[in-house]
C-alpha cells in the first residue's frame, strides 16, 4: 500500500486507526503483565 504513489486518504486513515488500536492493546497487555509481576510504575 505504501509503495503506491496515490493512496486514498481514507485508506491511510484506516491503517493509522488500526495501528493505534494495536499499540493500545500492546500497552494494555504490557501494563497488565507488569502489574501482575509487582513492577513499580514510573512516577514521572
pLDDT tens, residue order, the chain (44 aa): 557 678 899 999 999 999 999 999 999 999 998 876 665 566 65
Q: How much is the pLDDT for 7?
A: 84
What's the pLDDT at 43? 61
Task: Report residue 22 as a C-alpha cell.
Answer: 494495536
Residue with grid cell 509503495, as numbered in its chain = 3
Query: What's the pLDDT score for residue 23?
Result: 95
Q: Say whether pTM exceeds 0.85.
A: no
Q: Which residues of 1-44 form beta strands (DSSP E)?
A: none
The whole-number pLDDT of residue 10 equals 94
Amino acid at each position: 500500500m505504501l509503495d503506491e504513489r496515490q493512496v486514498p486518504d481514507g485508506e491511510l486513515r484506516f491503517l493509522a486507526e488500526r495501528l493505534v488500536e494495536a499499540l493500545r492493546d500492546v500497552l494494555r497487555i504490557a501494563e497488565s503483565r507488569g502489574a501482575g509481576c509487582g513492577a513499580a510504575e514510573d512516577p514521572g
